[in-house]
């Protein structure tokens, strides 16, 4: 299933040989799963456009990223459909969006130590590119694409299941994809409280910002939650505020 032209292009892509690094957790995982990856496609998957531009316009990992994105969607959707038969389409769509988000993919990339192996241009390196969440997410998708071209769609989806099924289960347990802000708004209305307001504080470097959000409900700040972006932080703060109100007023947790 390997595209020969992509193999030839990948061979141009760099100075390093990631396929020879047996200590890399990503390659260790593939070995444990019995999945083989073409070394040239692996190199191509790690070639960011900034590196390609500085090296004569060689091919980038963007086509592999496009493929990997589709394989990821298939694997996650398949698992949600089979593992959670009682979930409606809307809930599955929200969970899928949470699991395939840039933040989630960045977490997978960091767990596999992908960042240090990405080929970057000098400017991108100087601005902390090896730790930029969006760049890590894109590269993770490119690697999924490379595995799929090397070993076939079934193996690509199997890798997705290995990496993401536990994250889906955790997302279900934690309520990821649930609109906790709307649920909190409705709960405040039922309890005759003012609409919730949110206070947010940012910290950390630009390439790895963190946001602390608190929900102001009933004249009190509730639910200090730290997220990778403002939306995530506000949703987390809303969920924590709901937990407090449930305990205070002895009411059930809403099904948001």
* Residue 103: closest CA among 201, 169, 177: 177
| Residue 221 annotated as part of some ligand binding site | no
Catalytic residue among 6, 38, 69, 232: 69
- Concerning whether 141 is annotated as a catalytic residue, the answer is yes
| Residue 65 annotated as part of some ligand binding site | yes
Instruction: Give CB contacts under 8 A, 24+ apart, made by 106-111.
Output: 106/133, 106/134, 106/136, 106/137, 106/140, 106/228, 108/140, 108/163, 108/164, 108/167, 109/136, 109/137, 109/139, 109/140, 110/136, 111/25
The DSSP string of 138-196 is HHHHHHHHHHHHHH-HHHHHHHHHHHHHHHHHHHHHHTTT--HHHHHHHHHHHTT-PPP
- Concerning whether 69 is annotated as a catalytic residue, the answer is yes
If one counts every other C-beta atom within 10 angstroms of the C-beta of residue 248, the result is 11
| Residue 32 annotated as part of some ligand binding site | no
Residue 13: both structure tokens together:
């892509």
* Residue 164: closest CA among 186, 194, 144: 144
Catalytic residue among 6, 141, 155, 234: 141
Q: Which residue numbers belong to the known binding site for Mg(2+)?
A: 65, 138, 141
Catalytic residues, by residue number, are 69, 141
Q: Which residue numbers belong to the known binding site?
A: 65, 138, 141
């Amino acid at each position: 299933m390997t595209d020969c032209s992509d193999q030839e292009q990948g061979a141009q892509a760099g100075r390093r040989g990631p396929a020879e690094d047996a200590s890399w957790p990503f390659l260790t995982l593939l070995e444990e799963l019995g999945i083989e990856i073409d070394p040239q496609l692996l190199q191509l998957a790690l070639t960011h456009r900034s590196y390609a531009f500085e090296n004569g316009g060689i091919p980038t990992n963007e086509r592999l990223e496009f493929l990997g994105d589709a394989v990821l969607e298939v694997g996650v959707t398949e698992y949600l459909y089979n593992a959670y038969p009682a979930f409606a389409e809307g809930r599955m769509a929200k969970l899928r969006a949470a699991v395939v988000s840039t933040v989630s993919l960045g977490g997978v990339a960091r767990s596999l130590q992908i960042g240090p192996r990405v080929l970057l241009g000098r400017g991108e390196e100087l601005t902390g590119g090896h730790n930029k969440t969006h760049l890590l997410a894109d590269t993770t998708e490119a690697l999924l694409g490379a595995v799929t071209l090397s070993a076939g769609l079934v193996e690509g989806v199997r890798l997705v299941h290995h990496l993401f099924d536990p994250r889906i289960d955790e997302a279900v347990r934690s309520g990821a994809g649930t609109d906790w802000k709307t649920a909190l708004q409705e709960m405040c209305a039922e309890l005759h409280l003012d609409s919730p307001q949110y206070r947010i504080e940012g910290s950390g470097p630009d390439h790895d910002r963190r946001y602390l959000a608190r929900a102001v409900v009933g004249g009190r700040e509730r639910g200090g939650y730290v997220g990778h972006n403002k939306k995530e932080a506000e949703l987390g703060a809303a969920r924590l505020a709901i937990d407090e109100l449930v305990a205070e007023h002895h009411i059930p947790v809403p099904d948001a």
